Structure 1
């Protein structure tokens, strides 16, 4: 399975084409729209979310509620394009019109300057429009299709926020994915610790008043993942590596860890490795899950636990200093609409990217021209694994 996305932040629409999904997956547009709505929510979101109401249009690859096995095209219209038709239109415009919305002042922490240098753009809007996190809208739409497929295969995934701006959740109990999802959906900051939710919201509000931004830490958990997805045979076949790359491809994400993650540097090997046991009912399983569901780049059958860190959004309402690419003079960076914290929304995107990589790994391992065939393959495989 593979997909490509296209479109600019204030362009006419965002588009994605998904190739390689089995024929026969049930598709409900309302489910996709529900995932898009989740991405737009969360305490701390900025003005753009008041303008856009993201809904998907499926223009190929689905007939009578099921996938055909051919490429699926998903389109999300940008409602705000009506205000940007001259600025973002494909037709040639006068030099005077070009100058109206031209950006010559790169923002620290954005792709603006490096992208301008790389592609020789004298208008940095050509960079910021595509490098915007708006692009992740259609990634979430892709994941919604993949999530339905995985749910039918009894693979369950949910994300939640562990920390925002130094305010940390305290989770003392082991939660199932179902419990994580329920609690996260009930929280405006997607935090399962209800006692800390108010403190997180207060931190976001204080930051907004100060014209600043904050980041946070997100955790995604996946249950009932088959043993042996991914491979140890080549560096680029390791599934934990693929998941790490997918998460780091999200705007503003700067780090990934699995299981105990970076804490492993201070632990003994006996505190990190997961001891193996066997029972007739379960087959092989681990006494703990310090490695987050992976050994040798392959899934162990234990829950996948992956955490990631999102830096503060670089667009500040009290802009940092930069340099005008025309005059080379110091200048305060330009301000686009921004969120004080997008961590709750980014949690939905991180969940989406893990979902996509798990779907790809499932389709890589099993025969999957038709969805019925895939379901039979996985059922037989799970039985064989238990009897190994």
Structure 2
């Protein structure tokens, strides 16, 4: 069993991520993590924060000379902007007069950093978090609820992806399939891992140049209107063997685990496995993936409506998962709210300037899927070392190969 957790605030000194139960012998370097974090920073519609906020990642434990040791892996992602936030985010008490200094800079709509944030933003965790955790200020809530935390998840996902690749030759790729009401449609081209460079070079992470331009236009129109815009991302996992996950308990179902992981991403409000909602409109004779033999005599499927998962278990087809991201909740022209300090009507705080987050959303979704699949693989072929895991997996694959 793999276990992972993150800690840290958006404007704190650093994010920290740990993963426990990882086998020894997996090749991972700092450069692997840096490349993953760089992908998260790509995409059209991002705000100025991406230009000055760098991801300085350090391996604190669990990796030696480029190989995992079997010990818990600990990663740190420092906040390059921390000096600007030392007072307001100090772990130790600060003098009250220090918090009266107007430290805000930049966009006139942004509230000064050091002042209490008492106008919760619709769509964010601000109001329920303030009430649930008994805070008079939204700062402790929004700092942890921020999507900045996903940098730690992407770093962990990069580690998990190495396990999947080096043990089982499983590879993942993600792309954007809709922005607002502009969609790639059901006949879209599925990318492969070989398309990664092309996807990274596309501003809206799609292989279709015309669709890329239409996505950009949708983002531009939203920005011009002082608004934000969401979309749908898709993750495809290739090489997943039959049998990951289980039908025997709800929390062991692979689709359950993937859905929960994707839904945990900030802004995600919907998850779909395979053809999902479209499949619900089909009759049974058309909705299910018939089992056939290909020209070489290998067992395969005539289609993949199920997205590679049946009965909570992978069926050998590519796993396809989608996540729908709502528009960013902090709308530039501000939405109505109340001021918790006075009870009076007000407008929401403006804390960021992104217009669209679907491109990094695809990378984050890919990382979450990698973590879940790595855990499911470990459940099925776990061991203390990469050698043991490969041996266990091969034994299982040989056995099912003889049966079918």
Determine if the alignment matches structure 1 residue 348 to structure 2 residue 351: no
Kindly indicate whether the alpha-carbon contact (under 8 Å) linking 2:56 and 2:79 is maintained by their aligned counterparts in 1: no
Question: What whole-Å deviation, never above 9, does each CA across 1:117-141 have from its counterpart, x for those lacking one?
Answer: 0000011101000000000001000
Matches within 5 A, 1:86-235: 86-98=87-99, 100-152=114-166, 153-170=168-185, 172=187, 175=190, 177-235=192-250
How far is the alpha carbon of 1:205 from its aligned partner?
A: 1.7
Alpha-carbon offset, residue 219 of structure 1: 0.7
Distance in structure 2 (CA, Å) of the matches to 1:53 and 1:33: 10
Residue number in structure 1 paired with 2:104? none
Give the match for residue 364 of structure 1.
379
Tell me the residue number matched to 1:337.
Answer: 352
- 1:35 equivalent to 2:36? Answer yes
Q: Does the Cα contact within 8 Å between 1:169 and 1:191 map onto a contact in 2?
A: no
Distance 1:256 1:173 in 2: 18
- Residues 177-218 of structure 1 show CA distances to partners (whole Å, capped at 9, x for unaligned) of 225434322311101212111111121122112221000011
SS at match of 1:331: strand
Q: What SS does structure 1 have at the residue aligned with 2:342?
A: coil
Contact kept in structure 1, 2:173 and 2:191, CA below 8 Å: no
> 2: distance between equivalents of 1:340 and 1:279?
46
Question: Which residue does the alignment assign to 2:107?
Answer: none
Instruction: Tell me if 1:277 matches 2:278.
Output: no
User: Which secondary structure does the structure 1 equivalent of 2:46 belong to?
Assistant: coil
Task: Note the residue ranges of structure 2 that are not aligned, 5 or more in a row.
Answer: 101-113
CA pair 252-176 structure 1, distance change in 2 beyond 3 A: closer
Per-residue CA deviations over 1:62-99 (Å, capped at 9, x if unaligned) read 11110010001100000111100001011212334346
- Report the Cα distance in structure 1 between the residues aligned to 2:260 and 2:227, rounded to whole angstroms: 28
Question: What are the residue-to-residue correspondences of 1:291-306 with 2, within 5 Å?
Answer: 291-306=306-321
TM value normalised by structure 1: 0.97
Following superposition, the deviation at residue 373 of structure 1 comes to 1.0
TM-score (norm 2): 0.93
Q: Which whole-Å CA distance do the structure 2 matches of 1:167 and 1:176 have between them? A: 19
Aligned residue for 2:82, secondary structure, equals helix
Structure 1 unaligned segments of length 5 or more: list them.
none
Which whole-Å CA distance do the structure 2 matches of 1:382 and 1:57 have between them?
A: 37
- Whole-angstrom CA distance in 1 between matches of 2:226 and 2:255: 37
Quote the Cα distance in structure 1 between the aligned partners of 2:65 and 2:275: 45
Query: Distance between the aligned counterparts of 2:295 and 2:198, measured in 1?
Result: 34
CA shift, 1:283, in A, is: 4.1
Deviations 1:238-276 (A, max 9, x none): 010100000000001011111111012211001111111
CA RMSD of aligned residues (A): 1.5
Does the Cα contact within 8 Å between 1:104 and 1:326 map onto a contact in 2?
A: yes
Q: Which residue among 317, 336, 343 is the counterpart of 1:321?
A: 336
Q: 1:247, 1:350 within 8 Å by CA — same for their partners in 2? A: yes
